[in-house]
Amino acid sequence: MALLTVLNYPDSRLRIPGVTVESFDKGVKTLIEDMLETMYAVPGIGLAATQVNIQKRIVVIDLSVEKNQPIVLINPCILDLEGQEESEEGCLSVPGFYEKIQRATRTSISALDRNGKFFELEASGLLAICIQHEIDHLNGILFVDYLSALKRDRIRKKLGKRARNAARVS
Ligand code: NI
């Protein structure tokens, strides 16, 4: 297993949508293990393959305290969205920034598991929000896109500056 590098906003590679996964070979299984390890190490509650510069429609999520209940979504599809609520979101690709975002309260989705088996899932609360956030990643969308241009620019400038400073010292 290996830790993967998470791309940070405003890296343009985060904008490349993931492509549909069609084979469930060893490469995909290893990628899922590495994504889980990376998410747990940061730590985070969700990670999309596009965040680690792999343009495949794969998402891992784990909301459990013990970090032992991973949810793997391959080629996830939103079937239904219901209600609306605002809650504070962050993102591993936008480190250090948390903003209030509107999402649907409940969602039902379909996806394939890591063995390629089809399933449907109904989610509410944090899981519903997390699923919507991660599926956005697969489409090249980040939570900062829902903010005002002013707020988004401020975050982009701060993260850009941080990246340049890091590049200078390393
Ligand atoms: Ni994110």
23 C-alpha to ligand 1 centroid (Å): 25
**Active site (annotated) includes residue 134:** yes
The 10s digit of each residue's pLDDT in 91-138 is: 999 999 999 999 999 999 999 999 999 999 999 999 999 999 999 999
pLDDT bin (cut points 50, 70, 90) of residue 170 is low
Q: Which residues contact 41 (CB under 8 A, 6 or more apart)?
A: 3
Instruction: State mean pLDDT over 33-52.
Output: 97
24 C-alpha to ligand 1 centroid (Å): 24
Whether 41 and 3 have beta carbons less than 8 Å apart is answered as yes
9 C-alpha to ligand 1 centroid (Å): 10
**How many whole angstroms separate alpha carbon 151 and alpha carbon 159?**
12
142 C-alpha to ligand 1 centroid (Å): 7
Q: State the catalytic residue, choosing from 37, 120, 122, 134.
A: 134
